[in-house]
């Protein structure tokens, strides 16, 4: 009894001190540079947004935000293995959900190894065709593909990429027979689409809009459920004859599992303040994206749904990468 009483007394004495230490740690966070791992190439959409967001956080925190580009699986694996102290986070995209659906084995699990911080934004992909293709609407593209089964092709950044899945979803929902041509990256696929060797493609606004404005590609639809505020005249795929079609790309922040909840909340709150600063919000909106800054709980729930949805699509499309 005497020993147990001493243990209880000791715990009671230590608990307030521990709580004070945690509060001080969160209040002073971050006290050193924060590394943001971006699992995509420098100059890509996610990299650009991460750097713009990092600049805003740097202004708020007075600490450097260092963007570390580590392509694909390596980036997510590195972030998952980092210390769970809030000083290394993953700035990722919807490719994370797609990748987990198509790879047979991965060195990490999104739901097991990460803590959700926030969904930063959502963004539509754009369905474009080469000007030589006699289709100005989704209905016309589908009709053309049905009239010429196996003759139309679309290029992507590779098997299992988000633009590949966007095309597979269209194929599944319309019954068209088109040829998927995987490249080693989106720039190569885009170059061949611009050259007319690919008939259509799905791409981010940042990558394809400049070519649309120059008349080198024809924009026929956006992939989100609602029209984009930045492109209000462009119809959605769903309203263009494919009811229920939706491919919403997203960007978000994850931390290694075990990161203190108070640190996660502070990180989310500071990101929420940053993305709604007028100049950054306007830049995001100009790229046909919408700032979100969801709570950690909401983002965690979204990830579960997103992973389940793409697992179903990948299974039905028989896509798998060893």
Name the helix (H) or strand (E) containing 270: helix 261-275
In a domain, 29, yes or no: no
Asked if 202 contacts 126 with a C-beta cutoff of 8 angstroms, the reply is: yes
Residue 12 is assigned to a structural domain of this protein: no
Residue 25 confidence (pLDDT) above 90: no
118 and 135 part of one domain: no
For 35-62, letters b (16+ CB in 10 Å) and e give bbbbbbeeebbbbbbbbbbbebbbeeee
Residue 115 and residue 258 in one domain: yes
Residue 311 sits in the same domain as residue 165: no
Rounded Cα distance, 49 and 292, in Å? 13
Residue 222, in any domain of the structure? yes
pLDDT at 265 over 60: yes
| CA 7-11-13 angle, 5° bins | 115
Last residue of a domain, one of 183, 207, 240: 240
The residues, any chain, with a CB within 8 Å of residue 259's CB and separated by 6 or more, are: 84, 85, 86, 115
The two three-digit tokens of residue 211, written as one number = 């070519």
Establish if 186 belongs to a structural domain.
yes
Local structure of 276: helix, strand or coil: coil
Render pLDDT for 155-197 as a digit per residue (tens, 0 to 9): 998 887 888 889 999 999 999 999 999 988 788 899 999 999 9
> Residue 194: which domain range?
126-240
Would you say the pTM of this structure is higher than 0.85? no
- The answer to whether residues 132 and 220 belong to one domain is yes
- Domain total of the chain: 2
Domain-terminating residue out of 240, 274, 303: 240
Give the CATH number for residue 276: 3.40.190.150
Boundary-marking domain end, from 188, 220, 240 = 240
| Residues 220 and 127 sit within 8 Å (Cβ to Cβ) | yes
pLDDT in tens, 201-253: 998 888 899 999 999 999 999 999 999 988 999 999 999 999 999 998 899 99
Burial of 84 per CB tally in 10 Å (0-12, 13-18, 19+): middle
228 & 273 share domain = no
At 318 the pLDDT is: 77
Cα(184)–Cα(103) distance, integer angstroms: 16
Regarding whether 270 and 190 lie in a shared domain, the answer is no
Residues 257, 108 contacting (CB under 8 angstroms): no
pLDDT of residue 95: 86
- The CATH number assigned to the domain holding 213 equals 3.40.190.10
- Comparing CA positions, the residue from 4, 53, 48, 107 lying closest to residue 273 is 53
Domain co-membership, 132 together with 236: yes
């Amino acid at each position: 009894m005497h020993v147990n009483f001493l243990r209880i007394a000791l715990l009671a004495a230590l608990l307030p001190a521990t709580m004070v230490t945690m509060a001080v740690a969160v209040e002073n966070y971050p006290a050193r540079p924060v590394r943001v791992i971006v699992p995509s190439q420098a100059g890509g959409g996610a990299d650009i947004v991460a750097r713009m967001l990092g600049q805003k956080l740097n202004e708020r925190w007075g600490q450097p935000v260092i963007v570390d580009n580590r392509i694909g699986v390596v980036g997510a694996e590195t972030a998952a293995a980092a210390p769970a102290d809030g000083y290394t986070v993953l700035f990722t995209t919807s490719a994370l959900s797609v990748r987990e659906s198509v790879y047979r084995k991965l060195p990490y699990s999104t739901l097991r190894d990460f803590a959700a911080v926030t969904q930063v934004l959502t963004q539509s992909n754009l369905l474009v065709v080469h000007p030589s293709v006699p289709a100005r609407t989704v209905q016309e593209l589908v009709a053309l593909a049905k009239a010429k089964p196996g003759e139309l092709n679309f290029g992507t950044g590779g098997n299992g990429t988000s633009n590949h899945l966007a095309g597979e979803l269209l194929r599944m929902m319309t019954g068209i027979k088109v040829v998927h041509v995987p490249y080693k990256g989106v720039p190569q696929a885009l170059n061949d689409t611009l050259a007319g060797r690919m008939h259509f493609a799905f791409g981010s606004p940042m990558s394809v809009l400049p070519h649309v404005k120059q008349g080198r590609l024809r924009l026929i639809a956006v992939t989100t459920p609602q029209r984009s505020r930045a492109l209000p005249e462009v119809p959605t795929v769903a309203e263009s004859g494919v009811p229920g079609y939706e491919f919403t790309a997203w960007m978000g922040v994850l931390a290694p599992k075990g990161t203190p909840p108070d640190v996660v909340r502070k990180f989310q709150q500071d990101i929420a303040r940053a993305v709604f600063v007028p100049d950054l919000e306007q830049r995001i909106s100009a790229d046909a994206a919408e700032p979100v800054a969801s709570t950690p709980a909401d983002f965690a729930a979204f990830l579960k749904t997103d992973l389940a949805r793409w697992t179903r699509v990948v299974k039905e499309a028989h896509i798998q990468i060893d």
